Structure 1
Amino acid sequence: MWDPAQPAVSGVLRKHPSITVRTVTSPLSDRPTYPRSVLVLVLIGVVAAGFNLRPGVTGLSPLLDMMAADVRIGAVFLSIIGMLPPLAYGVVGIVTPRLVRRFGSVSVLAVGTGLVFAGSLVRLRLPEATPFLLLSALALVGMGIGNVVIPPIVKEFFPHRVALLSTVHVAVLQFGTFFPPLVAVPLALVLPGGWRGSLAVWAVTSGLALLVWVLVRLRAGGSRTGPEAPRAPGTPSASADPSGAPSGAFGRILRSPRAWSLMVLTGLSSFHNFILFTWHPLLFVRAGLSESTAGIMLGILCVIPFVLGLGLPVWAARIRTPVALVWVFCGFTVAGYLGMWFAPVAAPLLWTVLLGLGVSTFPLALALVNLRSARPEDTAALSGFVQGAGYLLAATGPFLFGFLIDLGGGAPAFLLALGAVLVQAVVARTACRPGFI
């Protein structure tokens, strides 16, 4: 970009005064900024909402055997409860960009946190499995909204701190993933209501997140990707595509091999995550470990992506491509699955650590959604596509894994998981390629 202040260019202008120099601005340069107090509130909101995107899932898995004493659950319930989170995330991911365009990202996230709170609270009062699943689905819809909306909110409010705030987002999401299974069983043993009391803790934290985003909505109003979004003078309004994203952004995504590869990489990362969220504790319990120990193992598995997620987004922003790291993670996943398949109780901690390293492709893939899109509008469209279609792909994981275990034991289920790792390794090169979509 030519700058008239540069000496060389100034000399040319003196010799040729008829030359006209046009200043090119960044897509973000003409966007107004919010007051510092609003930015602080949004940062608190990102932390609060990000934490509550997973406890309703990972905090339940170690309690399933306790829950079975009060609520009649069987193999169908286990398959559905494992498939429900990614299925809800996928469906919501497809429609959320349209809601963002119509109502604004802040308003949509406030509603999403409200759904998490309502579903998490009301399901505790239900004595039957079916209504419990339905209310869980309501909470998961709210979590799915947060999955899609938080990345573009980071891009909107902190356009020059995307890598740092992506790190914060990924870190609190992973903390909300690993901490609940660590404390789920101990909380159930000391709180009134047993497993219901344990799950009530996460209903309270989601209520706090709702309060923060209501305050953000009152202070910040709409958002720059919503109907209140200001446009630079002379900038035409974008026509909307069926997903709610600007037609140009959505068209580029559908035509981009990198976007499709990133979707598959993210989807298969979640494919493994939700298999392990559902079956990792159960497989260890069936192999002879105690429920408490199995819950601790799941917590350890989830804490590893949290620790790595503290540095992965910033590191990925500084290198040309993280494809080699993805391949290393895939190798760890293969080793962990093989260990759980052939000798689960021989070294449960080792298999857990290997799998925790392996599923760390997920925080890396989340960071790439922001790093491979140039504008908040592009980020919203890419986030909706990657997480919507990706979670629909991931929804098949727990169901197929459980079906194959019931059908033919461990071999078919673990072969399915190992095949998914191979596909991850293949698409990683295109997904991690440098540049913007």
Structure 2
Amino acid sequence: MSDYRSRVADRELARRMSSIGAVLIEGPKGCGKTATASRIARSAIRFDTDANARALLDLNPEELFEQETPILFDEWQRAPQIWDHVRRHVDDLGRRGLCVLTGSATPTDARELHSGAGRIGVLQMRPMSLYESGHSTGEVSLEALLAGETQRAKRTEMTVPALLRRIVIGGWPALLGEDEESARAWMADYLTQIVEVDIPSLGTTRRAPARLRRTFASLGRSVGQPVKAASIAADIAGDDERQPARETVTAYLDALDRLKVTDNSPAWRPHMRSRTQLREAPVRYFVDPSLGLGALGAGSHQLLGDLSTAGFHFEAMAVRDLRVYAQPLGGAIYSWREAHGRKEVDAIVATPDRWAAFEVKLSGEQEVIDEAARGLLSFAAEIDQARHGAPAALVVLTATGGGGRRADGVHVVPLAALGP
């Protein structure tokens, strides 16, 4: 594995393994879970390809644990009984770092599994951020921003067309070094696998590939927006006047969530100084922006021809990267929008004791950045800081240019300079 590229999750996994008996790494197929787990595991059992291992779960499960630890149980959802065996193994030995499980789907009967609390920790993995794939310098640290430190960055060499190509190619390890044409072909096959194999295998939705593809396309058109299920239902129906029932739409969305291909931002609900009514619907994103464009059959050429739409997909890439960098800090990403849509903030990064607000702008024009900075300052003034504290940082994420802190206290940071 000499060609392994370091991941932000590497240190988080090592920390988790030193503090708990086993760790489950969850994430979409192809995001690098197995490669990351294999860096720390001493032995491996792959349930997707090893029928004998699956059979041993019924005949002699103890034999699966007679290997050097940590033991990697890859694609554990193919043999969900292993969950309880791992939990019991951890209880019996009372040691840390015994097993690593990886999975790209939540099993249908997961609710019937005994809790792994205190024995099995969960680590979420996503496709590579720009920093991990080598397309961000990482000069500006999210951790430092959350600590209130001033951050600066040199003018980045990444151009808007190059960034749009990165959106299309995505952060998939298999596509490192590939061109856009190859990446689009790979993504087409990836989506076909999800629609025709992975979702039907979950057993929760009727096999309807055309409608599932329209679900993907609907979400692709709605990236970065709090679109409701009724709107998705209308898109799914297409030319068919009969819209799917709400339960059907919910089942489709649940299947995508269980496959870890969607990664929505729930609404942040801070105490406000005013009586502002806030939206409660989550803002919808894919786990990687390439999925939305793949579902729409669009490439960087189409994005260049429609920069307004490109801005939403650039935002999706920025939110993906913020999730990757915030997770080791115990942080999560939220959205903030007024009920009537007059004001909004693209991303709130909230850790247990700090928060920061981010606006994402594809345009580098000064008036656009000025307007975004004014919006962030206005937003921060509305938060009841006696309860929530002052923001650690207010940041405008841009596509190009340099990075630094403005006189008004707002940071301007090119995404290709942001890192953990």
- TM-score, reference length from structure 1: 0.28
> Counting helix residues as a fraction of each chain, which structure ranks higher?
1
- TM-score, reference length from structure 2: 0.29
> Counting strand residues as a fraction of each chain, which structure ranks higher?
2
Q: Which has the higher contact order (CA 8 A, sep 6+)?
A: 1
